[in-house]
Copies of this chain bind each other. A is one copy, B any other.
Amino acid sequence: MKVIFLGTSGSMPSQARSSSAVAVRSKGEIILFDCGEGVQRQMVAAGVGFSRPTRIFISHLHGDHILGLPGLIQTMTLLQRERDLYIYGPRGLMGFIEAFNSILGDPGFDLVVGEIASEGIVFSGQEYEVRAISADHDGPSWSFMLEERPHPGRFHADRALALGVPQGPLWKRLQQGEDIELGGRKVLSIDVVDPPIRGLKIAYSGDTRPTEKFSRASDGADLMIHEATFDDSLIEKAEEDGHSTATQAAETARAAGAGMLILTHISSRYPDAGVLLEEAQKVFPKVKVAEDLMELELP
């Protein structure tokens, strides 16, 4: 999986930071978290295509998280996208999409829109699933957990041969976890295949005050992407506006035992986000501040 930070600004974009959007590329598929103004141009800059299977997860209906949707959909139409586009987000999302479609015209492909009414699995696919967790912001707001399905463990051809299983379709059945019969003997999958490797887990906070719920749901996440709109001196403003400070984001990552923390949704008052990094590092050393077009390869 590759994670690309398309836009990392707070509520106002700056010269260096476009509005909120994160792309995850997984096996030729694109997963987008939020879709701030300018996302289509950032996708061009990052080389993220417009025709792949794509699922968009919108955390909440504030302008800086959704105003890139209409232009993205228009460009996909101009490029003659044929594949359905899946968009999930809070109640009201459908109304927003209908409102701009009524002005700009219907897209040339099907939009499949899912409004999230309660916490739980939003999408469950063969390769990954996405769960929504209530965020603590302004109006209906969601955080998301992206969890890859476990990968099959390593197949040991030498052991299979030693047990008398010839190369061919039987190997495949064993690889897929099936036990087989061979000349009256049983060969167990676990004797020739390592245990499944757990898939990657990415936790995306959206805009939120720090919550225990998000921290618990993020348990063991390989990557936590947490908003850190403000530095600690503005903790009261963060509380008031429904945001987090850098230290609060770091505390959340520590509590979750995350593998890595990336801070994003950086207020335009920090042309240099060094202060946020320093504060977070004191609590959780494996932290970076997102920059636009920063890429992260998850092994």
Contacts and interface: CB of A to CB of B under 8 A. Distances in A.
A75 B67 CA distance: 12
Given A37-B71, A38-B38, A99 B103 contact: yes
Interface string A23-66: 00000000000000110110011000000000000000111100
A65 to B, nearest CB: 11
Nearest to A98: B99
Interface of A, helix, strand, loop or mixed by DSSP: helix
Contact of A67 (B45, B62, B67, B78): B67
Interface string A3-33: 0000000011111001100000000000000
Nearest to A73: B63
A134 interface: no
B67 A63 contact: no
Given A41-B38, A99-B102, A19 B71 contact: yes
Nearest to A45: B15
A96 B99 CA distance: 8
B104 A62 contact: yes
A63 B104 contact: yes
Nearest to A18: B41
